[in-house]
């Protein structure tokens, strides 16, 4: 996959996507409030080895209402513009709103990250096709209401085949994207840890991540600081770095091509060691 002047060769190594949250109510506690602080974080992440920067303005914390298009534009567009001018990394816009994505692409973003996999805004596929922008499609179960909240504390209850559901959801998203004219080489899939799934399902997805290879697209995995780590470790967000590292390493062993993380420096190191083991000497000179 080519993004501007950069080439991504899947299977040769794991690529690192650094998270830049332009939301004051981010679950991870790292929300930024202005373009200058976003630029500083982008520059730091670039120096630490990030390959992509993912910028979003809407918190994904469960239960929070969606912000308006205008508010999201105000949060993300100045950051996208400054970072695209001063940091030489591809920028992914993390949004489900058509107008936010359109303006972000005009401001310098080059990848679309859709947390609803075209289920809420199918026009994003047309935009991706028109602009030649890679499109990340995520499996999101928040609209189904099929997972009982009581399962959050039942360590044995994991009814249903979550991987079958994720694969089916992503398969439909891929079909919508291809019908809109998005080239297959521009499509990336994300199983969507969290997002309506129980923490047991999140563990199951990582354990069985290699089953997504049936879809024949690069796999993005985003375990960073997420609530399944809290349930396993009983630790706050600020103390989940080792848990994130374990999930990243196992995800790579199961076929992850991109990892989406907050702690770039540490996870780049995890990727390098994991790649050296799993990809026959990648990163070694």
Catalytic center residues: 226, 260
**CA torsion, points 247, 20, 257, 221, in degrees to nearest 10?**
40
CB atoms within 10 A of CB 275: 18
Question: For residues 271 and 223, is the Cβ–Cβ distance under 8 A?
Answer: no
Beta bridge partners of 35: none
Which of 205, 179, 178 shows the shortest CA–CA distance to 193?
Answer: 205
- 2-3/6-7 β-pairing: antiparallel
Q: Where are the beta strands (DSSP E) in 24-180?
A: 52-56, 91-94, 111-114, 135-138
Number of residues written out for the chain: 285
Give which of 204, 179, 181, 178 is closest to 189, Cα–Cα: 178
Q: How far is CA 17 from the centre of its chain?
A: 8
């Amino acid at each position: 996959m080519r993004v501007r002047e950069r080439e991504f060769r899947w299977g040769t190594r794991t690529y690192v996507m650094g998270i830049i949250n332009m939301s004051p109510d981010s679950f991870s506690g790292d929300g930024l409030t202005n373009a200058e602080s976003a630029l500083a974080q982008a520059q730091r992440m670039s120096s630490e080895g990030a390959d992509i920067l993912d910028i979003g303005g809407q918190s994904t914390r469960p239960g929070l209402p969606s912000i308006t298009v205008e508010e999201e534009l105000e949060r993300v567009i100045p950051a996208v513009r400054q970072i695209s001018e001063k940091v030489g990394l591809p920028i992914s816009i993390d949004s489900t709103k058509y107008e936010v994505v359109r303006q972000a692409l005009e401001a310098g973003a080059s990848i679309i990250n859709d947390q609803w996999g075209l289920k809420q805004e199918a026009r994003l596929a047309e935009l991706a096709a028109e602009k030649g922008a890679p499109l990340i499609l995520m499996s999101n179960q928040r609209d189904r209401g099929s997972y009982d909240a009581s399962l959050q504390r039942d360590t044995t209850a994991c009814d249903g085949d979550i991987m079958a559901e994720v694969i089916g959801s992503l398969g439909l998203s891929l079909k919508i994207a291809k019908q809109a004219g998005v080239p297959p080489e521009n499509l990336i899939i994300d199983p969507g840890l969290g997002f309506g799934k129980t923490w047991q399902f999140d563990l199951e997805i990582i354990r069985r991540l290699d089953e997504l290879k049936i879809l024949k697209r690069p796999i993005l995995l985003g375990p960073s600081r997420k609530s399944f780590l809290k349930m396993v470790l009983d630790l706050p967000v600020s103390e989940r770095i080792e848990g994130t590292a374990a999930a990243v390493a196992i995800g790579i062993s199961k076929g992850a091509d991109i990892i989406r993380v907050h702690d770039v420096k540490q996870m780049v190191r995890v990727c390098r060691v994991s790649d050296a083991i799993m990809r026959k000497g990648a990163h070694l000179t």
